[in-house]
Each structure stands twice: as structure tokens, then as C-alpha cells.
């Protein structure tokens, strides 16, 4: 049965046909496809886009942007696939596969209409290819090993060529033995700026690649055979506290392009302190009319999501995957649930057998990182505590796919400004005076109120802002 859309198509009124006007549809120009064009491409050539003139370069926290040289109006890039010793966070390194000495590979940045040539040298022990995920190009350049080309053998250099006929956020990754090669890190981001700006350019344009790894504590190479139990969750191949913060000046327009090439996971990325709009996917720009405010954007694996907001709310704002096991690091998932047991009794029972034993997890996992950092509990060489790092006020019991958006007034550089000292006060211990003022007796169990409501509303709402 034809869908409503098909019916439109048959009537010559497909979705793209409706987009002919281009403006007002998030930069979508062409009438024949869903990808985003800001200028016509058929029969047209454009001079190579210039940073500063044609675009404001993106920032890849903990990563870099791939340089190119211009040869006869063509941007020439060179990627070398190779083994790289990569640090996920201080204390945890692994032998990964990356490009140009880094994991993940550098971000390829270009402008719509740019003609590019990408040389790919294979310095791995295995054949490989690169697929340009989301890029509209001819089939022969698509990089699927066996389907579109033969694999690039170790020591060989292949050449890929195309012209960007779209703008947006895309990715590249190995498309040969993906299970192995992507698990070891062979991936990177591609950003194509529009040739003609149809929306305000962001002041800060961040690029993030989400990834998952299986790395046993103490091991030195990620395990590509793992199918479900990933224990190192990364943003740009870094695990908190290894992730660099996103530093933004008050009032700046912030764009965050998030790609996900995790083996088996989607990531709902949640940003604190803001509502944002999801403005594009790797398919193209989302029409303004279709955008909606969000606090969490789900980034399915094999796709990109671009969000945007204006940084009007100063502070240190957590940004993280909301899957709770994705803000953990290197925890075993078969450990017994110890919540609620008496640790002293077990310690007494077990320490004669195992002098270094200490019951853990009886009140959760939060204390664990602290124990390790304080040095009284040793963990395997080359491993990260399951959660956390010391924060300004206490231990931050989050790890993995976690970073911090730092919005400040009056910044003169984008270096890490340190912890935010909130002038508007923060949560603290309630004083006795406050407790009695508001009639709170902590010894009386708080009860859910009935629907008829018997809570007193006569007390004025207190503003705690000036109390510190």
C-alpha cells in the first residue's frame, strides 16, 4: 500500500519538491534529495573554501582537524591508518588503531563545493578501506570493501576523490572487518560547511564522536570480540576525567555536532542548564518547523546529531550520556549486588583469608573512586576507577561518556577556566533556623501528600541566594 508520501511523489509533490524555495527550510536547496545544499551543484564548480572567509573552523576537543594542501584547486588530504598507543584518561592507555597517530582520526573539514582527494595509506597489519559515512558521492568512492573497491592491503595507498555537494556533519570509518577495525578505533568526523550561510554561524562549533570499547582492567588492547559488555565509554576517544571541557563565553552561539559509531549502543546525550534545538542529522538540516526544544538528544549508532543553543546560563554544566552504565568506566557487570549488607561483619569474616579484602558496594559504587584515589586500595596497573574524579566540592561520581560545558562571563581565552564558583549560591547543609522556619523536622518521615492536599502554602518562598 503506498504511503501518503508516495502519493505526494506520484503527484509531483514530494517533500523535496516542497523545498524548492530553499530558504526557511534549514538551508535545504535541492528539490530532488534530502541532503542539504546551500547552492546548486549541477554543472557548477566552486573555488576551495577558506577558513575565516567561508567558515569558522570547528573545534574537536581532545582531537584535531586534518590539514590539507591545495593542488590545482583540489583539497588534498592524507590519512594513514596505523596502530596508535592511545590514552583514554590518565592511567589508562591502550594499543588502538587510528589515523595519523591519533584516535580517533582527525576531523576532515571542508566547504560545500570543495573538490577533495583523500589518500589513504594502510600501515596496519590488516587490509582496510574507508567509508565516507553520509557523504553523497559516486558509488565507486563509497569505500565498502568488496562491494565498491578491493581492500587496501597493508603498505598500499589508495586515492578517493569527490566533490562535496552537501553540507552537514558526517563521519568516516573503516568498512572492512568493521567489527574489529571500528572496535579498535578506526573512525573520525567530517564537517562540511555550507557554501552559502542560511543560518547564523555558531561562535563555538564543537565536534564529538561517541564510542564504546571493551578493555579489561590491566589489559592493553581493546577487545573487538566483545559484543555487549563495553566498559570504556568515550567522547572523542576520551573517558571522563580525561575529557576536555567545552569552554564557551557567555552569550555565544554554541553548536555541538555529535556522531556515534559505537558497536552496539545508542547514546541519549543530556546537557544540563540548557534547552537546545536539534538542528541537523547526517542526513541533512532539519527544517526549522520540525525542530523542537530538547534537553537530551538521542544519537543512534551510525548517525550524527547537531544541536545548538545560545550560552546564556553561566556555570559548569554536565553533559553526558544518560545511560547510567555509560557514565561508568571499567566496571565488571557480573559483580554481585552488595547494597544493604553489613560490611563490618563480612570484613571480619573474610579478612583472615584475604587480608586486603574490603567489602565494597554496600552503599553503592560512589565511594569506590575515592578509595582508589586515596591510595589505600590498589587497582590493576593500567585501569581507571569505575567512576569519577575529584570535583570542586566533592568527588564526582561520574566517568565514561561525561564532559563539562563551562560557560563564563568575561573569558579572554578558551583555556580551561577552572571550576565555577557560583555567586548565586549552592546547595548546602540546612541550618537549624531554616529547618524550624520552614517547619521541617528531619526526624519525622516525609509522607506523600494526598490528592486533597493538606500542605500548607502559607509560608513565603525563601530565596537562599544571599545566604552564603
Partner 1 sequence: MTLKHLWLGGAFLLVSCVSVPKDAGFSEFDAMLAPMLPAPAQWVGETISEQEASDRISALLSDPLTEASVAEITMLANRDLRAVLYGLKEARGNYVDDASLPNPFITALFVDEPSETSADCFGNLTRFDTPIGGQIGVGIEILDILFFPKTLKAAKAEFTAAKYSSLRHFADHSYQARLKFYEAMAAKQILGLAEQSYEAMAANAEVAQALFDAGNIAEVDLAQEKLFEAQMKSELIKAERGFEMAKSHLIKTMGLSPEKSDSVKLEGRLRTPDITELEALPVQSVMDRNLELKHREALIDAAGIRMGMKDVMSFVGDVELEGEVERHDGAYEYSGGIGFELPIFNFGQGKREAARARMEMMGQQYIARQYALDTNAHLLYTNLSAARREILHQRKQVLPLSQQVLKGMQLDYNAMHIGVFDLLNAKRNQLATGIAYVQAVEDYWKTRAAYEYLLAGGTPDIDASSHLNPSVGGASEEGDH
Rounded to the nearest whole angstrom, what is the least distance from the CB of residue 140 to partner 1 in the complex?
A: 46
Q: Which is nearer to Cu ion, 86 or 326 (CB)?
A: 326
Query: Is residue 104 within 8 Å of residue 81, measured between CB atoms?
Result: no
Phi-psi region of 100 (alpha: psi -120 to 50; beta: other; left: phi over 0): left
Closest CA to 81 of 141, 121, 117: 121
Q: Which is nearer to partner 1, 199 or 229 (CB)?
A: 229
Rounded to the nearest whole angstrom, what is the least distance from the CB of residue 333 to partner 1 in the complex?
A: 9
- A 10 A CB-CB count for 213 gives 25
Query: Dihedral through CA 384, CA 386, CA 391, CA 393, nearest 10?
Result: -150
Q: Which is nearer to partner 1, 14 or 91 (CB)?
A: 91
Place of cell 570535583: 391
Binding at 267: pick from partner 1, Cu ion, none (beta carbon under 5-8 Å per type)? Cu ion
Q: Which is nearer to Cu ion, 233 or 407 (CB)?
A: 233
Relative to beta strand 267-271, strand 130-133 is unpaired
Residues 251-290 that bind Cu ion (CB under 5 A): 267
- Please report whether residue 175 would count as binding Cu ion according to CB under 5 A: no
Q: Which is nearer to partner 1, 270 or 371 (CB)?
A: 371
Distance CA 388, CA 366 (A): 8
Q: Which residues bind partner 1 (CB under 8 A)?
A: 216-218, 330-332, 334-342, 345-346, 349-350, 352-354, 356-361, 365, 368, 371-372, 377-380, 383, 385-386
Q: Which is nearer to partner 1, 162 or 213 (CB)?
A: 213
Binding at 326: pick from partner 1, Cu ion, none (beta carbon under 5-8 Å per type)? Cu ion
Q: Which is nearer to partner 1, 15 or 338 (CB)?
A: 338
Binding at 430: pick from Cu ion, partner 1, none (beta carbon under 5-8 Å per type)? none
Relative to beta strand 389-390, strand 293-294 is unpaired
Measured CA distances, 216 to 88, 203, 213, 383 (Å): 13, 40, 10, 8
Number of residues that bind Cu ion (CB under 5 A): 4
Distance CA 62, CA 211 (A): 14
Place of cell 560512589: 366
Distance CA 347, CA 344 (A): 5
Binding at 338: pick from partner 1, Cu ion, none (beta carbon under 5-8 Å per type)? partner 1
Q: Which is nearer to partner 1, 215 or 307 (CB)?
A: 215
Rounded to the nearest whole angstrom, what is the least distance from the CB of residue 401 to Cu ion in the complex?
A: 5
Using alpha carbons only, give the angle 117, 121, 124 rounded to the nearest 5 degrees: 150
Binding at 339: pick from partner 1, Cu ion, none (beta carbon under 5-8 Å per type)? partner 1
Beta bridge partners of 238: 235
Beta bridge partners of 156: none
Binding at 321: pick from partner 1, Cu ion, none (beta carbon under 5-8 Å per type)? Cu ion
Q: Which is nearer to partner 1, 15 or 379 (CB)?
A: 379
Rounded to the nearest whole angstrom, what is the least distance from the CB of residue 84 to partner 1 in the complex?
A: 24
Query: Dihedral through CA 7, CA 11, CA 14, CA 17, nearest 10?
Result: -170
3-class DSSP state of 114: coil
Rounded to the nearest whole angstrom, what is the least distance from the CB of residue 353 to partner 1 in the complex?
A: 5
- Please report whether residue 323 would count as binding Cu ion according to CB under 5 A: yes
Binding at 448: pick from Cu ion, partner 1, none (beta carbon under 5-8 Å per type)? none
Query: Is residue 274 within 8 Å of residue 317, measured between CB atoms?
Result: yes
- Where in 344-431 does DSSP place strands (E)? 389-390, 395-396, 402-408
**By CB under 5 A, which span of 27-35, 113-121, 242-250, 313-321 interacts with Cu ion?**
313-321
- Please report whether residue 305 would count as binding Cu ion according to CB under 5 A: no
Q: Contact residues for Cu ion (CB under 5 A)?
A: 267, 321, 323, 326
Amino acid at each position: 500500500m503506498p504511503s501518503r508520501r508516495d502519493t505526494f511523489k506520484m503527484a509531483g509533490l514530494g517533500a523535496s519538491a516542497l523545498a524548492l524555495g530553499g530558504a526557511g527550510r534549514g538551508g535545504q536547496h535541492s528539490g530532488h534529495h534530502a541532503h542539504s545544499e546551500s547552492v546548486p551543484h549541477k554543472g557548477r564548480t566552486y573555488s576551495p573554501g577558506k577558513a575565516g572567509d567561508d567558515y569558522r573552523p570547528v573545534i574537536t576537543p581532545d582531537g584535531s582537524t586534518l590539514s590539507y594542501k591545495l593542488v590545482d584547486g583540489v583539497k588534498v588530504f592524507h590519512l594513514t591508518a596505523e596502530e596508535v598507543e592511545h590514552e583514554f584518561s590518565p592511567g589508562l592507555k591502550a594499543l588502538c588503531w587510528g589515523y595519523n597517530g591519533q584516535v580517533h582520526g582527525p576531523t576532515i573539514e571542508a566547504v560545500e563545493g570543495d573538490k577533495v582527494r583523500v589518500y589513504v595509506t594502510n600501515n596496519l597489519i590488516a587490509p582496510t578501506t574507508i567509508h565516507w559515512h553520509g557523504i553523497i558521492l559516486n558509488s565507486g568512492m563509497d569505500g565498502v570493501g568488496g562491494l565498491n573497491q578491493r581492500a587496501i592491503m597493508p603498505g598500499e595507498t589508495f586515492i578517493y576523490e569527490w566533490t562535496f555537494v552537501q553540507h552537514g556533519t558526517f563521519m568516516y570509518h573503516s568498512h572492512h572487518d568493521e567489527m574489529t577495525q571500528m572496535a579498535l578505533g578506526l573512525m573520525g568526523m567530517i564537517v562540511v560547511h555550507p557554501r552559502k550561510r542560511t543560518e547564523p554561524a555558531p561562535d563555538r562549533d564543537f565536534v564529538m564522536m561517541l564510542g564504546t570499547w571493551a578493555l579489561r582492567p590491566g589489559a592493553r588492547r581493546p577487545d573487538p570480540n566483545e559484543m555487549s559488555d563495553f566498559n570504556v565509554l568515550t567522547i572523542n576517544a576520551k573517558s571522563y576525567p580525561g575529557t576536555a571541557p567545552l569552554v564557551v563565553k557567555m552569550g555565544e552561539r554554541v553548536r555541538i555536532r555529535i556522531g556515534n559509531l559505537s558497536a552496539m549502543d545508542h547514546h541519549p546525550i543530556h546537557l544540563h542548564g540548557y534547552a537546545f534545538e536539534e538542528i541537523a542529522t547526517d542526513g541533512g538540516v532539519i527544517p526549522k518547523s520540525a525542530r523542537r526544544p530538547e534537553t537530551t538528544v538521542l544519537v543512534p549508532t551510525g548517525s550524527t546529531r547537531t544541536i545548538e543553543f545560545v550560552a546564556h546560563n553561566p556555570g559548569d554544566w554536565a553533559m553526558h550520556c544518560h545511560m547510567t552504565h555509560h557514565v561508568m568506566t571499567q566496571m565488571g557487570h557480573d559483580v554481585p549486588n552488595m547494597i544493604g549488607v553489613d560490611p563490618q561483619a563480612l570484613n571480619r569474616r573474610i579478612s583472615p583469608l584475604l587480608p586486603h579484602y574490603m567489602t565494597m558496594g554496600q552503599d553503592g559504587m560512589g565511594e569506590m573512586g575515592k578509595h582508589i584515589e586515596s591510595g589505600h586500595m590498589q587497582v590493576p596497573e593500567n585501569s581507571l576507577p569505575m567512576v569519577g574524579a575529584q570535583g570542586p566540592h566533592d568527588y564526582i561520581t561520574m566517568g565514561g561518556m561525561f564532559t563539562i560545558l563551562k560557560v563564563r562571563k568575561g573569558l579572554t581565552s578558551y583555556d580551561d577556566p577552572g571550576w565555577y564558583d557560583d555567586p548565586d549560591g549552592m546547595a548546602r547543609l540546612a541550618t537549624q533556623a531554616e529547618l524550624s522556619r520552614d517547619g521541617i523536622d528531619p526526624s519525622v518521615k516525609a509522607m506523600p501528600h494526598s490528592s486533597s492536599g493538606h500542605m500548607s502554602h502559607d509560608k513565603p518562598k525563601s530565596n537562599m541566594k544571599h545566604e552564603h
